[in-house]
Structure 1
Amino acid sequence: MRSWTETPEGLQVMVNPRRNQGNVTYAVELQGSCPMLSSSPSVFFRSGMGLGQICGNAGDRVVAVRDAFSGEPGPAWNNIGAQPMASAGAGMTTVATGQCQIAAVYPVHS
């Protein structure tokens, strides 16, 4: 994934066309509102089927993440139920701030 933007329907994701059958932009529709995306600088996708790809299958999710300073190396927690993901070094940790269910994924043709 090269970049992403939030849309009223969900997300619009820019990808490498060589790895995605020549498609550059995909629409990712969500099953409901996902307010944590507006405050998240990064996202990643989690396949519900364990395929390493998202297609709108049951369990496919977009996960909002951010870096957090924990004051010491190791997992960082905050008071909104964020989950520690991995240490980013020097007291920084990548923290998942929320997940949203994906309803559909399809290429956007311009």
Structure 2
Amino acid sequence: MSQLEDLNRAMAYIEEHLDGTVDMDVLARIAVCSKYQLQRMFPYLTGVTLPEYIRRRAMTRAAQDLRATDTKVVDVALRYGYDSPTAFARAFRRVHGASPNDARRP
């Protein structure tokens, strides 16, 4: 398998585990490299660090959930691995520049 295919499989793993369960050891194994190599290589390929990429993808998915459903903000926060709605709201605002409640408005 090529390196590109390995990285695509790693990206698919990230997408499946945006709920805060990304295991870096598993991710590195899927990418067929060490955790160190993965964390050094990832910013060169994407322009952001691996943890930042995961955080942004989770917040994007959370925004989609908020827009598409009537699920409470606290439930969306828990789904994406946040223990408190306050921490979730802070992270959401950092990524999107608006509160989770603002994301619901048309």
The alignment's TM-score, normalised by the length of structure 2, stands at: 0.27
The alignment's TM-score, normalised by the length of structure 1, stands at: 0.26
Q: Which has the higher contact order (CA 8 A, sep 6+)?
A: 1
Higher strand share: 1
Higher helix share: 2
